[in-house]
């Protein structure tokens, strides 16, 4: 199935206990599309600035990502600066410069409108809805979000939830959207708010999958030393959705496999800054960790 992602490409400045990286390639759509590219082709829609490096564009093209929906804005690329010095699980935003992202409304090129699976990376829900308006009603729609929109665009977000098949969110977002105070109650409540499937990301504690018909829980792939958690959620989603888009039918078994692949891809992502580790994985490395995940969670 063809997979479309719409979201940000960015230059990030990041500080973690392992070090600092200045103005490195980032953005939700970047992490998602590179992660998903290990399972099949990816179509990308987003905006970059006129300072976007040729080598970063080449990195995406080498991963087979179709950049036919990339707009080059008049000005510098979106920039985000954050720190994980206090807590590796929570990014503290130091600065956000929207730059070319300011006022951007994505146009899905005609040749991308038949995409079977659409991932709406974190963006204002009105923008995400605008993307859904441009693709087939039959597309399998997946969305991510963030606390900012839960607080400032709640009505738009609730309307969008009714239109998507699958929601990715972290623990705090799940509690904030649902108004519940336990993750389990939140996951079940979110299923009543629209999506058939809710993927609750818990960082180093793994992930839950809530579906109308089943519940699935996995640990994170055990990493001794996290270098940079930036993009962990987006690369997890890229692994999950990329794998699902590569199979003929989205069944319970395939969703369970997808969760494990997502966890594996995210585990590589956090082992280096930016796309350092994620940009050049061998299929054997992915399969080896997938099989380790099976052993780590094997039944007695």
CB of 224 to a second copy, least distance (A): 5
Kindly report the backbone phi and psi dihedral angles of residue 214, in degrees, each rounded to the nearest multiple of 5, phi listed first: -160, 165
Residue 178: CB atoms within 10 Å: 21
Q: Contact between 245 and a second copy (CB under 8 A)?
A: no
Tokens representing residue 59 in the block: 């990195």
Based on the number of CB atoms within 10 Å of its own CB, is 25 exposed (0-12), middle (13-18) or buried (19 or more)?
buried
Nearer CB in complex with a second copy: 134/269: 269
CB of 95 to a second copy, least distance (A): 26
Terminal-residue alpha carbon distance, the chain: 36
Contact between 218 and a second copy (CB under 8 A)? yes
The per-residue b/e assignment along 80-95, b for 16 or more CB within 10 angstroms, e otherwise, is bbbbbeeebeebeeee
> Least CB distance from residue 194 to a second copy, whole Å?
20
17 counts as binding a second copy under rule CB under 8 A: yes
Among 58, 64, 90, 214, binds a second copy (CB under 8 A): 214
Q: How many residues bind a second copy (CB under 8 A)?
A: 35
CB distance 238 to 259 below 8 Å: no
Q: Using CB under 8 A, which residues numbered 150 to 209 contact a second copy?
A: 181-185, 188, 202, 204-206, 208
**If you search the block for the tokens 């956000």, which residue do you land on?**
96
Please identify which residue in 60, 260, 264, 286 interacts with a second copy, judged by CB under 8 A: 260
Nearest approach in angstroms of CB 202 to a second copy is 7
The position carrying tokens 């640990």 is 219
State which residue, 81 or 263, has the beta carbon closest to a second copy.
263
Segment contacting a second copy by CB under 8 A, of 31-39, 218-226, 230-238, 271-279? 218-226
Residue 100 phi, psi (nearest 5): -65, -10
Spell out the residues 6+ positions from residue 119 whose beta carbon is closer than 8 angstroms to its own: 3, 4, 5, 6, 7, 32, 36, 142, 143, 144, 237, 238, 241
Residues 279-298, interacting with a second copy (CB under 8 A): 294-298
If one asks whether residue 256 binds a second copy (CB under 8 A), the answer comes out as: yes
When binding is defined by CB under 8 A, the residue of 97, 130, 163, 257 that contacts a second copy is 257
Give the residues lining the site for a second copy (CB under 8 A): 17, 181-185, 188, 202, 204-206, 208, 214-219, 222-226, 253-254, 256-257, 260, 294-300
């Amino acid at each position: 199935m063809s997979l479309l992602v719409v979201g940000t490409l960015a230059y990030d400045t990041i500080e973690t206990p392992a070090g600092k990286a200045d103005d490195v390639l980032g953005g939700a759509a970047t992490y998602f599309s590179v992660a998903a590219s290990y399972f099949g082709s990816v179509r990308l829609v987003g905006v970059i600035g006129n300072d976007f490096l040729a080598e970063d564009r080449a990195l995406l093209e080498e991963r087979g990502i179709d950049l036919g929906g990339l707009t080059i804005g008049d000005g510098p690329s979106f920039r985000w600066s954050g720190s994980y010095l206090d807590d590796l699980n929570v990014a503290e935003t130091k600065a956000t410069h929207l730059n070319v992202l300011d006022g951007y409304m994505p146009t899905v090129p005609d040749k991308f409108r038949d995409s079977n699976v659409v991932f709406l990376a974190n963006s204002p829900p009105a923008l995400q809805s605008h993307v859904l308006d441009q693709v087939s009603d039959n597309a399998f729609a997946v969305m991510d979000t963030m606390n900012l929109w839960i607080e400032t665009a709640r009505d738009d977000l609730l309307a969008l939830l009714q239109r998507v098949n699958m929601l990715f969110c972290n623990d705090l977002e799940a509690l904030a959207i649902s108004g519940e105070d336990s993750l389990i109650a939140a996951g079940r409540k979110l299923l009543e708010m629209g999506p058939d499937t809710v993927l609750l990301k818990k960082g180093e504690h793994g992930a839950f999958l809530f579906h109308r018909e089943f519940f699935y829980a996995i640990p994170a792939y055990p990493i001794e030393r996290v270098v940079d958690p930036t993009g962990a959620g987006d690369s997890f989603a890229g692994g999950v959705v990329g794998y699902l888009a590569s199979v003929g039918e989205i069944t319970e078994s395939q969703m369970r496999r997808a969760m494990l692949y997502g966890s594996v891809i995210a585990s590589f992502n956090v082992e280096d800054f930016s796309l350092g580790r994620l940009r050049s994985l061998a299929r054997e490395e992915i399969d080896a960790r997938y099989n380790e995940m099976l052993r780590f969670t094997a039944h007695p």
